[in-house]
Structure 1
Amino acid sequence: MSAVVACQPDGVAPQPTRTAALPSVTPTPTPTSDRDAVLAAYRALYREGPRAERAHPKERRAILKQVATWPLLDSMLEGIAALRADGRMTYGYPIFRFFDVQIGGDRAALHDCQDARNVGQADEKTGKRLSHGVTGTHMVAALIKESDGMWRVAKVDQLKVPCSSAA
């Protein structure tokens, strides 16, 4: 899992990657539908979370505001600060398996049966992996289409009951 999950209660975290400079956001193709835009926003959260985690604390909010909104934005910032204060960082990127995507107006919800085996937390100094996720990690996300027309993730919960990748 990534900083997204690491910043959630009982989260599992992502893989350590040492970089001297943060990469710029990679442009993604313009989604052709709200469904495509919702899925792209959710994926972007997992890409930008670790990027924010490795950024200077004053830069984190600006990075995350591109993909997250209240209340997730604030909880991610708090979670990243706590993670880093504990000398940990996240590693990895999950394999997404979306199902039950529902969109109504400016609200959306989705389920993701993630394969998070290559995601976890690591020691910031040594890079030693301290935890890892599992396959069948059942995530549920709520997204909002904001006034600028962009979908942003407002909430992500990990359900205790695993899901099947055939979901």
Structure 2
Amino acid sequence: MLLTAASAVVACQSGGSSPEPASTAALPSAAPTPTPQPTRGKDAILAIYRELYRVGPQAERALAEQRRAILEPVVTQPLLDTMLKGIEALRARGRVTYGYPILHTFDVQIRGTSAVLHDCQDGSKGGQADYRTGKHLTHGMPGTHMIAAFAKEADGGWRVAKVDQLDTPCSPDT
């Protein structure tokens, strides 16, 4: 499976690292209030990429019918459906993600209504855990090279459209 949602993105797709800690007991009752985001340039791209790793775990722990509303302010197709399917598969296996990757973004390129960034993230403090017990079952790795693609939507906001994990490790120092 490719990537899912930033938290669920990496955890569901690659089976490795994942984002943001959250308790396994509490489920949100409604879509979270999005964090205000810059609307222009590189700052907007970086902000929405960070937001992906905040809302991914929230969607993962939400009721199935609430997940799309949580993700839509941040994610667009094809990543949206990929994440929803990945979260469903993760939960069907009795798993959730834990932790949050340390992001080392670089090489942000914006061309009209599309953008790409690279991230040499350290996912070693996150992974997958048993939903009921919280026992950590997997963990991510440092030097995970991610490439995220973005689309500028009709409302003027940027959304993450795709996240891929490269096989070749990276170093945040290079």
Given the two structures, how large is their TM-score scaled by the length of structure 1? 0.92
- In 1, are the aligned partners of 2:39 and 2:157 still within 8 Å (CA)? no
2:146 is matched with which residue?
139
2:23 is equivalent to residue 17 of structure 1: yes
Deviation at 1:74, TM superposition (A): 0.2
| 3-state SS of 1:96 partner | coil
Count of residue pairs the alignment pairs up: 166
Q: Distance in 1 between matches of 2:149 and 2:126?
A: 22
2:16 is equivalent to residue 8 of structure 1: no
Given the two structures, how large is their TM-score scaled by the length of structure 2? 0.88
Kindly, what percent of the aligned residue pairs are identical? 60
Deviation at 1:10, TM superposition (A): 4.8
1:48 is matched with which residue?
55
2:71 is equivalent to residue 64 of structure 1: yes
- In 2, are the aligned partners of 1:16 and 1:127 still within 8 Å (CA)? no
Instruction: Look up the equivalent residue of 1:13 and give its one-letter code.
Output: S
Runs of 5+ unmatched residues, structure 2: 1-5
- In 1, are the aligned partners of 2:127 and 2:140 still within 8 Å (CA)? yes
- In 2, are the aligned partners of 1:13 and 1:131 still within 8 Å (CA)? no
- In 1, are the aligned partners of 2:35 and 2:51 still within 8 Å (CA)? no
Runs of 5+ unmatched residues, structure 1: none
What is the aligned-residue RMSD (CA, Å)? 1.8
Taking a change above 3 Å as real, the CA distance of residues 91 and 10 of structure 1, as seen in their structure-2 partners, is closer
Match of 1:155 among 153, 159, 162: 162
Match of 1:27 among 23, 35, 39: 35
